[in-house]
Chains A and B, each alone.
Chain A
Amino acid sequence: GESVGLHLPTLSVQEGDNSIINCAYSNSASDYFIWYKQESGKGPQFIIDIRSNMDKRQGQRVTVLLNKTVKHLSLQIAATQPGDSAVYFCADQKTDSWGKLQFGAGTQVVVTP
């Protein structure tokens, strides 16, 4: 992902609505992409991943979309719940540097009742 500085964008979502979080990455050689959720004072928690030979992958309540043409990744959360409030990061890596992640700037998701 692209870490674009000190500003952490915030997405306010009403409980029950769907959330869409976007991320841009810069390395066209990256072939593995991950979304993480980070709660305050904790380490990143794996949500879902996608490899470059796919453009969509679904998990439980989450969907990741990958557009390699424009180097864009998105995370969709269905029926957002208060427990989804956290900072969400995308990360990318190359196969020959497995585990060495480049993180995006992050998006703060705030779920309101």
Chain B
Amino acid sequence: GAVVSQHPSRVICKSGTSVKIECRSLDFQATTMFWYRQFPKQSLMLMATSNEGSKATYEQGVEKDKFLINHASLTLSTLTVTSAHPEDSSFYICSARDMYQMNTEAFFGQGTRLTVV
């Protein structure tokens, strides 16, 4: 099946610094990727839709200047958490949709555990 890889799987950063999370589709091309955030014991909440070659679309309440998304190629989207604070600590998960298999499910990465200290 299709594979989506996230890197890193875990990261600890100091408050005020920025951290970048990568989401790669390994065996398919994706014009669209999605970023979710999940707090402990809660569901996944969609943060933004990442569009290759254009600006990301953010969900209501998500600060686009804080969560920078870049989708520069058909296999890579990055999420940068800028000026991270402890409340940004969460599990960040990406998913990707195969651009040639438009009516199949989106495939999820394994997630990135961000801890801001």
Contact = CB atoms under 8 A, between A and B. Distances in A.
B38 to A, nearest CB: 9
Contact of A43 (B46, B49, B111): B111
Interface of A is mostly: loop
What band does the interface of chain B fall in when counting residues whose beta carbon is under 8 Å from A? 20 to 34
Interface residues of A, number: 24
B45 to A, nearest CB: 7
B42 A43 contact: no
B43 A42 contact: no
A104 B105 CA distance: 17
A3 B102 contact: no
Nearest to B49: A100
A33 to B, nearest CB: 11
B44 A103 contact: yes
Given A99-B34, A100-B46, A49 B109 contact: no
B95 interface: yes
A4 B45 CA distance: 12
A43 B83 CA distance: 25
With most chain B CB atoms within 10 A of its CB, the pick from A41, A43, A46, A100 is A43
Contact of A100 (B34, B96, B108, B113): B34
B106 A99 contact: yes
With most chain B CB atoms within 10 A of its CB, the pick from A8, A46, A100 is A100
A43 B45 CA distance: 13
Nearest to A95: B103
A13 interface: no
A45 B96 CA distance: 13
Contact of B106 (A41, A101, A104): A101
